[in-house]
Amino acid sequence: MQLNASVYDLWVFRRTPGGVEFLVLQASALKAARHFNGGMFWQVPSGVFRDGESVPDAVDREAAAYRLDVRAVWAGEHAYTIYNRRFHEVQVITVFAVEVGPGDPQLNADEHGDFAWLPYDAALARVHFRGLRDGLRSVQEYITGVERPAPELCLRAAPNA
């Protein structure tokens, strides 16, 4: 069995006049049928680091696929381990928080069928995998749920952010 430690989750969020909203994505019917016994679960953008790639570069690459405008990248202070049946491997998944500007994501219909921007409690209720839930709790505790996130967790901020 393979161990893959190059996987990451992105808890994408935006700040609105009504508060912080988190992006969740629903697996498409095709993806669910092909890999997950029809399970139409909710998840977050994720990816795999390429050799020598920095966190901000990987975040930019992943966000570009969704046409999201990255404003800042934060270490989420959380990692978790799963068995990924789609890739037949054990994965160690590192969590990052990504602040984006306004606008909705553009979805790849083979991967995701729907999306939602949700406040913390609703996002926490929407995802049911423990790793996703714990990752969101960490992002909330260190980055979005405090008045001033710790600057040492910021991996990159936009000049005007």
Cβ(36)–Cβ(27) below 8 Å: yes
Q: Using the predicted structure, report yes or no on whether residue 125 has a pLDDT greater than 60.
A: yes
pLDDT confidence of residue 37: 62
Cβ–Cβ under 8 Å, residues 42 and 126 = yes
> How many Å apart are CA 103 and CA 144, to the nearest integer?
19
pLDDT band at 38 (very low <50, low <70, confident <90, very high): low
pLDDT tens, position by position, 140-156: 999 999 999 989 999 99
Taking alpha carbons only, the member of 55, 57, 76 closest to residue 12 is 76
Could you tell me which residues come within 8 angstroms of residue 48 by beta carbon, excluding any fewer than 6 positions away?
Answer: 4, 6, 7, 8
Please, what are the domains in the chain?
Answer: 2-157 (3.90.79.10)
- Average pLDDT over the chain, rounded to an integer: 92
The pLDDT of residue 81 is: 97
